């Protein structure tokens, strides 16, 4: 098979479409013929040499994929050759084939093409596990997602609206904010021109956000705490704004607030399987019913992965950028 390899860390040009050995499904795994994968910021970090795959995982980038089952390994039930699936991965999506633990498989939802389903697993599992399983967003609460036009953001808006929350977003252009509004966002904040703490307070009569989903990390830590409502929950899922910040514990105590920080890639298999199962139960009916849809910016042939990385690196996209395997 062919896959995107990274012979040496570097810029987008470090991604090389090369011939590599086929993976073999082990105990509890299936082999998937990959139709498409999606580009995530973790892939950019891996390309740069900063985010190695967990031990035992594929060395190729790609944290999600869609396709058809080509083979079923020992100990697997409930799946058959030919099934159309999408999957959460620890790596290996940038390839023509990938071995996947059966607990991380999801059926392609009704109404979606196989390639578009590749835009779902990573973002849906990230949003559902952090916003709903950990932060427990409830109907009527106010939810703030930073980077509302990203793959994570566009999914978070839709899921939060589906449960009856009021949604605030930050984004850097009027075009991106307009797209967020089309998806259901109620409070639109241009982070280049406005202070999100002040804007959020004004829009909520001084209360703030009950739940914040943050991809920035250190840069936004203090202001996120300021933006929280009493009993608010801050879920940190990224470090685009740095890894070390100063925390005002007094402010956190005064608000009786909580901070969680998680990654998805390195979690044990049983934890990933539990998240995937929850997503299938709670989110898949929303997708099949047309209430929630992946937002896809562009589909690019997988051998041209460098182009896709440049788009994501420039933050010029809205939603997800997909890599499609050659016919």
CA distance 228 to 207: 8
184 pLDDT tier (thresholds 50, 70, 90)? very high
Q: What is the side-by-side strand order in the sheet with 166-171?
A: 187-190, 166-171, 142-146, 209-214, 228-236, 258-261
- Report the candidate in 56, 52, 112, 57 with the shortest Cα–Cα distance to residue 86: 112
131 pLDDT tier (thresholds 50, 70, 90)? very high
CA distance 191 to 56: 40
Tell me how crowded residue 28 is: count the other CB atoms within 10 A of its CB: 16
Across the chain, what does the average pLDDT equal? 97
pLDDT for 98? 98
Burial (CB count <10 Å: 0-12, 13-18, 19+), residue 188 = buried
What sign for the dihedral angle of Cα 255, 261, 267, 272? Answer: positive
Contacts of 14 (CB under 8 A, 6+ apart): 6, 7, 8, 47
DSSP element (H, E) containing 290: none
104 pLDDT exceeds 90?
A: yes
Average pLDDT over residues 170-195: 98
pLDDT single digits (tens) 191-223 = 999 999 999 999 999 999 999 999 999 999 999
Q: Could you give the residue ranges of the DSSP H alpha helices within 151-195?
A: 151-162, 174-183
| DSSP structure string for 45-61 | HHHTTS-PPPTTS-SS-
pLDDT for 168? 98
pLDDT for 327? 81
pLDDT for 114? 98
pLDDT for 30? 98
pLDDT single digits (tens) 278-298 = 999 999 999 999 999 999 999
Prediction pTM value: 0.96
pLDDT single digits (tens) 51-93 = 999 999 999 999 999 999 999 999 999 999 999 999 999 999 9
């Amino acid at each position: 098979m062919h896959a995107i390899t990274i012979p040496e860390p570097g810029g987008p040009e470090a991604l090389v479409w090369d011939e590599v050995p086929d993976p073999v499904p082990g105990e509890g795994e299936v082999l998937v013929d990959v139709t498409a994968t999606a580009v995530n910021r973790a892939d950019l970090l891996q390309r740069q040499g900063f985010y190695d795959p967990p031990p035992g995982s594929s060395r190729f980038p790609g944290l999600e994929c869609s396709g058809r089952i080509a083979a079923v390994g020992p100990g697997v039930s409930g799946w058959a050759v030919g099934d159309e699936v999408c999957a959460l991965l620890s790596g290996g999506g940038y390839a023509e084939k990938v071995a996947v633990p059966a607990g991380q498989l999801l059926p392609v939802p009704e109404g979606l093409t196989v390639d578009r389903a590749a835009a779902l697993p990573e973002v849906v599992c990230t949003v559902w596990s952090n916003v709903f399983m950990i932060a427990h967003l409830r109907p009527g609460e106010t939810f703030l997602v930073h980077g509302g036009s990203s793959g994570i953001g566009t999914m978070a808006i839709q899921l939060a609206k589906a449960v009856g929350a009021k949604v605030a977003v930050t984004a850097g252009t009027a075009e991106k904010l307009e797209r967020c509004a089309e998806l259901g966002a109620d409070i639109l904040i241009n982070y280049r021109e406005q202070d999100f703490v002040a804007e959020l307070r004004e829009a909520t009569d001084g209360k703030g956000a009950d739940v914040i989903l943050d991809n920035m990390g250190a840069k936004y830590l203090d202001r996120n705490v300021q933006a929280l409502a009493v009993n608010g929950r801050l879920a940190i899922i990224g470090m685009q704004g740095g890894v070390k910040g100063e925390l005002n514990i007094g402010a956190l105590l005064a608000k009786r607030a909580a901070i969680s920080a998680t990654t998805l890639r390195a979690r044990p298999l049983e934890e990933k399987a539990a998240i995937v199962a929850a997503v299938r139960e709670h989110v898949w009916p929303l997708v099949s019913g047309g209430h929630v849809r992946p937002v896809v910016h562009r589909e690019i042939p997988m051998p041209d992965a460098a182009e896709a990385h440049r788009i994501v690196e420039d933050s010029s996209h809205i939603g997800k950028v997909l890599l499609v395997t050659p016919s």
